[in-house]
């Protein structure tokens, strides 16, 4: 029996590759639904499920070796529910009765991230932030969201029911920074509804810095508080490298990156003289992508000269174009591309589509709506060990 990376007393990796977790064994948390399955088997089962869905559409699909994650200490983003009381807060999840279950020593978090939780709990008490009670529908603080950058910097976001506690958070923030010198970005998000929604639209940044720098494969990606970024940075880096390799092989004259987020795929696949257009509905994410592009331009990276980013709905933007680029990278949310965009791409002039999917069912559905393409090569990227979720990237080429 080997102690997990990070040394949490709540989890150990067993000799067969499965993870023993005290939170799971005591039924305080059931989030890792396949934690008792040896890790290599988890990855094999995930790939087999996607392969079964795609096999009728692509019987000759070639699978590259799956990209595995560390089985522990891999999550660089924590989405923690705050419950309990001001003087005894819990940071973790809610049980079936809406009561807090503290998961500060969850073995999925790297030590640098887990070390922040005690200080954040103390801050709840110091700033008198009343945890929101779901059963009683009262209180202010709903969640604390923490992101860890590769260089150790942290972004902390407090999700509140209102702005009632905003002044107290501002007042006591210097104390928290003294405890956590690596805290670089702090903000307050307001989510006033009594619904199972993680965050609201209103965000107030409380620090001089408004972006966290996530350095991935040498690219400094700037992540703002409301920008999406993968929770498993190491595996995301492998995904970007693989997409870049596939694009280099296809050598398109022009490339689109739809649902581009902070620009990870677009920036990795840029090449000198190749126009690349990233499209994303989030204005914050587009601003981050442009900042990374501009930084690299200033550093002399000529591949960025023809990279542009557009704030728009990916579907609406694409179908307004006269034709598609030669290659299109798509990374949609779990709902997938949908019929309109899938069929539009099928009838377009695109010769290569790289589809990165977190939902095998919508991936297979969308591929079926693109009969002019065939899936040639695929790879599983295990972003979420111990769950049935995974990321799959597929190269689609014209028949």
Active site residues: 358
- N- to C-terminal Cα distance for the chain? 50
Q: Which residues are paired to 216 by β-bridges? A: 219
DSSP letter for 196, please: S
Handedness of CA 182, 185, 190, 191 (dihedral sign): negative
DSSP calls for 306-343: GEEEEES-HHHHHHHSSS--SEEEE---TT-S-HHHHH
351-380: buried (b, 16+ CB within 10 Å) or exposed (e) per residue? bbbbbbbbbbebbbbbbebbeebbbebbbb
In angstroms, the CA 92 to CA 80 distance is 5
Structural contact between residues 240 and 381, judged by C-beta atoms closer than 8 angstroms: no
Whole-number Cα distances in Å, 3 to 19, 20, 22, 105, 186:
10, 10, 13, 14, 33
- 30 in Cβ contact with 36 (< 8 Å): no
- Cα–Cα distances in angstroms (integers) from residue 14 to residues 20, 104, 180, in the given order: 7, 22, 33
Q: Calculate the alpha carbon distances from 40 to 33, 64, 382, 390 in Å.
A: 15, 15, 11, 13
Residues with Cβ within 8 Å of 321's Cβ and at least 6 positions away in sequence, in order, are: none
What's the rounded Cα separation, in Å, for the pair 360 and 356? 10
Cβ atoms 253, 292 nearer than 8 A: no
The DSSP-derived string for 154-172 is: EEEEEEESSSTTHHHHHHH
DSSP string, 205-258: E-SS---EEEEETTEEEEE-TT----S-HHHHHHHHHHHHHHHHHH--SSEEEE
Name the 3-class secondary structure at 272: coil
């Amino acid at each position: 029996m080997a102690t997990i990376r990070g040394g949490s007393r709540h989890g150990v990796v067993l000799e067969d590759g499965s993870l023993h977790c005290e939170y799971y064994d005591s039924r305080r948390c059931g989030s890792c639904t396949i934690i008792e399955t040896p890790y290599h088997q988890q990855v094999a089962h995930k790939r087999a499920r996607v392969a079964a869905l795609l096999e009728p559409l692509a019987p000759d699909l070639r699978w590259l070796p799956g990209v595995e994650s560390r089985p522990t200490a891999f999550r660089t983003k924590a989405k923690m529910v705050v419950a309990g009381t001001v003087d005894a807060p819990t940071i973790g999840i809610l049980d079936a009765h809406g009561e807090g279950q503290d998961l500060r020593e969850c073995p999925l978090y790297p030590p640098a991230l887990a070390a922040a939780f005690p200080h954040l709990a103390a801050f709840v008490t110091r700033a008198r932030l009343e945890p929101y009670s779901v059963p009683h529908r009262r209180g202010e603080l709903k969640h604390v969201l923490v992101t860890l950058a590769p260089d150790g910097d942290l972004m902390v976001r407090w999700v509140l029911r209102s702005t009632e506690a905003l002044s107290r958070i501002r007042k006591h923030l210097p104390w928290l920074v003294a405890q956590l010198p690596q805290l670089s970005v702090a903000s307050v998000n307001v989510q006033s509804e009594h619904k199972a929604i993680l965050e609201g639209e209103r965000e107030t940044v409380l620090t001089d810095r408004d972006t966290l720098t996530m350095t991935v494969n040498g690219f400094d990606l700037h992540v703002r508080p409301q920008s999406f970024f993968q929770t498993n940075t190491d595996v995301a880096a492998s995904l970007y490298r693989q997409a870049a390799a596939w694009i280099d092989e296809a050598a398109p004259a022009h490339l689109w990156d739809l649902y581009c987020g902070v620009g990870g795929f677009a920036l990795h696949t840029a090449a000198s003289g190749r126009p690349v257009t990233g499209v994303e509905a989030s204005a914050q994410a587009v601003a981050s992508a442009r900042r990374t592009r501009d930084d690299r331009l200033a550093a002399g990276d000529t591949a960025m000269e023809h990279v542009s980013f557009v704030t728009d709905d990916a579907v609406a933007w694409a179908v307004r174009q006269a034709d598609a680029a030669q290659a299109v990278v798509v990374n949609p949310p779990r709902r997938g591309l949908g019929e309109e965009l899938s069929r539009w791409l099928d009838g377009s002039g695109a010769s290569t589509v790289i589809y990165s999917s977190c939902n095998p069912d919508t991936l297979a559905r969308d591929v079926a709506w693109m009969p002019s393409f065939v899936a040639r090569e695929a790879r599983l990227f295990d972003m979420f060990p111990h769950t049935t979720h995974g990321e799959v990237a597929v190269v689609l080429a014209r028949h």
